[in-house]
């Protein structure tokens, strides 16, 4: 059973981009962390795109290929009805992750379209949020 770990725009620069906010670890470290926190019988497919349509296509693919989605939609969190609609067509668990505590930041980051669908939301735990999300999915699905 495969858990899709989807990452939105600018997260390819994780580790280089505003490290005071997002830390020094890279997306490769996030991938290793997800694998390390994955229960037996589950595997991880970590993907990143700077393009909204690509993320939507991966969510559609997940409908038949994934048992759950962990998603950090990055800036699309706050703008994308289209990603919300795609997630609403996905029937298994969805956990939303933000590395930073979006509620401590600018007001435009306080609203999330994706939270209208997410079964759980994690913010401000740094990249450990991904580990927590993967563990939650594994315990939900047994
Ligand atoms: C983010 C928070 C978003 O507001 C921001 O646009 C990001 C990353 C986070 O992981 O903290 O790109 O989703």
Pocket of ligand 1 (CB under 6 A): 10, 72, 74-75, 77, 98-100, 102, 109
pLDDT tens profile 63-110: 999 999 999 999 999 999 999 999 999 999 999 999 999 999 999 999
| Residue 14, domain CATH | 3.40.50.9100
Q: Whose C-alpha lies nearest to ligand 1, atom 8? A: 74
Please report which confidence band the pLDDT of residue 60 belongs to, taking 50, 70 and 90 as the band edges. very high
- Binding residue positions for substrate: 72, 78, 85, 99-100, 109
Which residue has its alpha carbon closest to ligand 1 atom 13? 74
- Write the pLDDT tens digit of every residue in 6-28: 999 999 999 999 999 999 999 99
Whether 22 is catalytic: yes
Distance of CA 92 to the CA centre of its chain: 14
Reported ipTM exceeds the 0.85 cut: yes
Which domain covers residue 105, as residue numbers? 2-141
- Reduce the secondary structure of 59-91 to three states and give it as a string: HHHHHHHCCEEEEECHHHHHCCHHHHHHHHCCC
Catalytic residue among 22, 76, 113, 130: 22
The answer to whether 5 and 44 are in contact (CB under 8 A) is yes
> For residue 114, what pLDDT is reported?
98
Tell me, what's the pLDDT at 34?
98
25: Cβ–Cβ under 8 A, 6 or more apart, which residues?
14, 15, 126, 127
Per-residue pLDDT of 77-86, as tens digits, reads 999 999 999 9
The structural domain count of the chain equals 1
- What's the CA gap between 59 and 24, in Å, rounded? 28
pTM reported for the whole predicted model: 0.98
């Amino acid at each position: 059973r495969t858990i899709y770990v989807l990452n939105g725009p600018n997260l390819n620069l994780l580790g280089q981009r505003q490290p005071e906010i997002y830390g020094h670890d890279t997306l490769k470290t996030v991938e290793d962390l997800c694998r390390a926190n994955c229960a037996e019988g589950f595997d991880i497919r970590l993907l990143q795109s700077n393009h909204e349509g690509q993320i939507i296509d991966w969510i559609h693919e997940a409908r038949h290929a994934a048992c759950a989605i962990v998603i950090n939609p990055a800036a699309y969190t706050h703008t994308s009805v289209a990603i919300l609609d795609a997630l609403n067509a996905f029937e298994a668990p969805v956990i939303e992750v933000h590395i930073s505590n979006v509620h401590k930041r600018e007001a435009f980051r306080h609203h999330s379209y994706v939270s209208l669908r997410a079964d759980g939301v994690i913010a401000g735990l740094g990249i450990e949020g991904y580990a927590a999300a993967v563990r939650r999915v594994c315990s939900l699905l047994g």
